[in-house]
Amino acid sequence: MHDELAEANGTASRLSGARRRALLTRALLVVTALAFASAPEAGGAEEDAAHAADIRERLGARAYPSVFQAWNPADNLPDEERWATVARHDLVWSSPWFYGLAWASETTGLVDGFTDESIATATETRSRLLALNPAIVLIAEIRYRDAYVGFLPEGHRWWLTGDDGGPVAGWDEGGYNLLAYADPEYRAHVAARAKAAVATGVVDGILLDWWDDDPDRLALLREVREAIGPDALIIANSNDRRVPESAPYVNGLFMEAYRSETPADWRRLAGTLAWAETSLREPRVNCLETWFHESRDDLHLMRATTTLALTVSDGYCLFSDPNPLPTADHLHNWYGFWEKGLGRPLAKGVEQDDGTTRREFERGTAVYNPMGGRTATVRFDEDRVSRATGVRGRVHKVAASDGDIFLAP
């Protein structure tokens, strides 16, 4: 239990007062509320191949829109059972403790395995989520760049040190120090931790945060890919940047779009997302997140994010709180616009003469109108129902910096 609370304390360390206590309490509930089952046996090559096929089947069977959860949940459904809210999302990542996995030491950064008891607990979590959403994909973040104080013993050689011999601050929001991922021994340890997470059978792959194409990260990425095998998923957070040297090893980008205020920002997002859809390793699981500008009621931005993901990718979207807020990052609403309804895509998205991008699905059409353009008139040969307005008709309007889903009635 101490291990999960240490992980939670790392997530909560930059928060204060009630928000921090609430997050730690929620972590404790995750650890204690699930029933135990027998620990799974280690899988062989046949089991690994079956699991890989299962990942592809879940991705292929998924209906749209597809939304992901990055660490923290949708918090506007307080009366809904917790795991039911999680399962609304088709892809989820968090620290291993979120699923119930406990590193097999109180000093969590030194070990590369989990307790048998916690694997049993987390296996139950996975089964519960798959029962609620058979298409869900589960990912564990493996920390490599920075970590909370206590992750390693004070003065350990894997802490990065500054000119004064002391620790170097990591996360700008405080409470984290940088790790020495340029150290080959430490990189091998990170790869072993990734392998251990995937080997539990609880998660389908791993997330590497704070990503770029520098030599030390690329060396780490190659080791991680070799350790977890060819079929497990790797998602890397490159924000809105392309990472061509990482592309052969990575299945998806976490596009944490901290810049979305200008038309140029949205063009860059669309370009990086389109690049990732054709350049990364298959199967691809690209994830586009933007933050609200004024409030969670910036519904046009939520719709623009959703329809950009729908028309340019086969990936996932999220519209969430900005990181600088003094609350846990990536908290968000669940929006009715995200409910399933489109089915599967029938073709690639096509850019129109008016600047919009349209994509046809089994049960409707998604339209994205980027920032900086004009209001577009969208016409159909039969009645369609706008998910944004609820209006039924053959002619609809979509403003710039907005998008819509038009469903066959």
DSSP 260-312: -SSHHHHHHHHHHHHHHHHHSPSSP--EEEEE-SS-TT-HHHHHHHHHHHHHH
Check whether residue 219 and residue 357 sit in a common domain.
Answer: no
- pLDDT, residue 53, reads 85
Check whether residue 147 and residue 279 sit in a common domain.
Answer: yes
Domain count, the chain: 2
Q: Are 341 and 407 in contact (CB under 8 A)?
A: yes
Check whether residue 382 and residue 306 sit in a common domain.
Answer: no
Check whether residue 311 and residue 203 sit in a common domain.
Answer: yes
Residue 43, pLDDT > 70, answer no
For residues 348 and 288, give the distance between their C-alpha atoms in angstroms, rounded to a whole number. Answer: 18
Q: Which residue has the higher pLDDT, 8 or 269?
A: 269
Where among 301, 325, 340 does a domain terminate?
340
Check whether residue 270 and residue 378 sit in a common domain.
Answer: no
Residue type, 282: E
- pLDDT, residue 19, reads 38
pLDDT in tens, 295-336: 999 999 999 999 999 999 999 999 999 999 999 999 999 999
What tokens does 257 get?
């779009």
* pLDDT band at 44; cut points 50, 70, 90: low
For residues 285 and 316, give the distance between their C-alpha atoms in angstroms, rounded to a whole number. Answer: 7
Check whether residue 275 and residue 333 sit in a common domain.
Answer: yes
Where among 340, 369, 389 does a domain terminate?
340
pLDDT in tens, 167-219: 999 976 668 999 999 999 999 999 999 999 999 999 999 999 999 999 999 99
For residues 320 and 292, give the distance between their C-alpha atoms in angstroms, rounded to a whole number. Answer: 6
In a domain, 23, yes or no: no
Residue type, 195: K
For residues 47 and 63, give the distance between their C-alpha atoms in angstroms, rounded to a whole number. Answer: 26
Q: Is 390 left (phi over 0), alpha (psi -120 to 50) or beta?
A: left
Mean pLDDT rounded to a whole number for the chain = 90
Closest to 94 in 3D by CA, of 197, 212, 230, 17: 197
Q: How far are the Cα atoms of 94, 247, 288 from residue 221, in angstroms, in the given order?
A: 19, 10, 21
Q: Is 6 left (phi over 0), alpha (psi -120 to 50) or beta?
A: alpha
- pLDDT, residue 36, reads 30
For residues 376 and 384, give the distance between their C-alpha atoms in angstroms, rounded to a whole number. Answer: 16
Where among 301, 321, 340 does a domain terminate?
340
| Largest Cα–Cα separation, the chain | 71
Check whether residue 257 and residue 167 sit in a common domain.
Answer: yes
- pLDDT, residue 173, reads 62
- pLDDT, residue 23, reads 42
Section 374-399 average pLDDT: 98
The rounded percent of the chain whose pLDDT value lies above 70 is 88
In a domain, 6, yes or no: no
Task: Starting at the earlier edge strand, list the strands of the sheet with 376-386.
Answer: 350-351, 357-361, 364-369, 402-407, 376-386, 392-398
Check whether residue 356 and residue 254 sit in a common domain.
Answer: no
Check whether residue 226 and residue 149 sit in a common domain.
Answer: yes
Check whether residue 371 and residue 327 sit in a common domain.
Answer: no
Residue 16, pLDDT > 50, answer no
Q: Which residue has the higher pLDDT, 236 or 23?
A: 236
In a domain, 311, yes or no: yes
Closest to 281 in 3D by CA, of 227, 317, 318, 231: 231
Residue 18, pLDDT > 60, answer no
Check whether residue 223 and residue 284 sit in a common domain.
Answer: yes
DSSP 101-126: --BSSSSGGG---B-HHHHHHHHHHH
- Residue 22's SS3 state is helix
The rounded percent of the chain whose pLDDT value lies above 90 is 85
DSSP 131-148: HH-TT-EEEEE---SEEE
In a domain, 28, yes or no: no
Check whether residue 259 and residue 390 sit in a common domain.
Answer: no
Least confident piece of the model among 12-16, 80-84, 120-124, 145-149: 12-16
Section 280-287 average pLDDT: 98
The CATH number linked to 237 is 3.20.20.70
In a domain, 139, yes or no: yes
Torsion of CA 40, 44, 45, 46, to 10 degrees: -60
* pLDDT band at 389; cut points 50, 70, 90: very high
- pLDDT, residue 171, reads 77
In a domain, 273, yes or no: yes
pTM attached to this predicted model: 0.90
The CATH number linked to 375 is 2.60.40.1180
Q: Which domain holds residue 362?
A: 346-409
* pLDDT band at 35; cut points 50, 70, 90: very low
C-alpha dihedral sign at 341, 94, 58, 359: positive
Tokens 């994205």 found at = 368
In a domain, 290, yes or no: yes
Burial, 353: exposed, middle or buried (Cβ in 10 Å; 0-12, 13-18, 19+)?
exposed
pLDDT in tens, 130-164: 999 999 999 999 999 999 999 999 999 999 999 99
- pLDDT, residue 223, reads 98
Q: Which residue has the higher pLDDT, 70 or 174?
A: 70
Q: Are 144 and 220 in contact (CB under 8 A)?
A: yes
Q: How far are the Cα atoms of 83, 153, 252, 258, 303 from residue 265, in angstroms, in the given order?
A: 34, 42, 20, 10, 16
Q: Which residue has the higher pLDDT, 8 or 14?
A: 8
In a domain, 2, yes or no: no
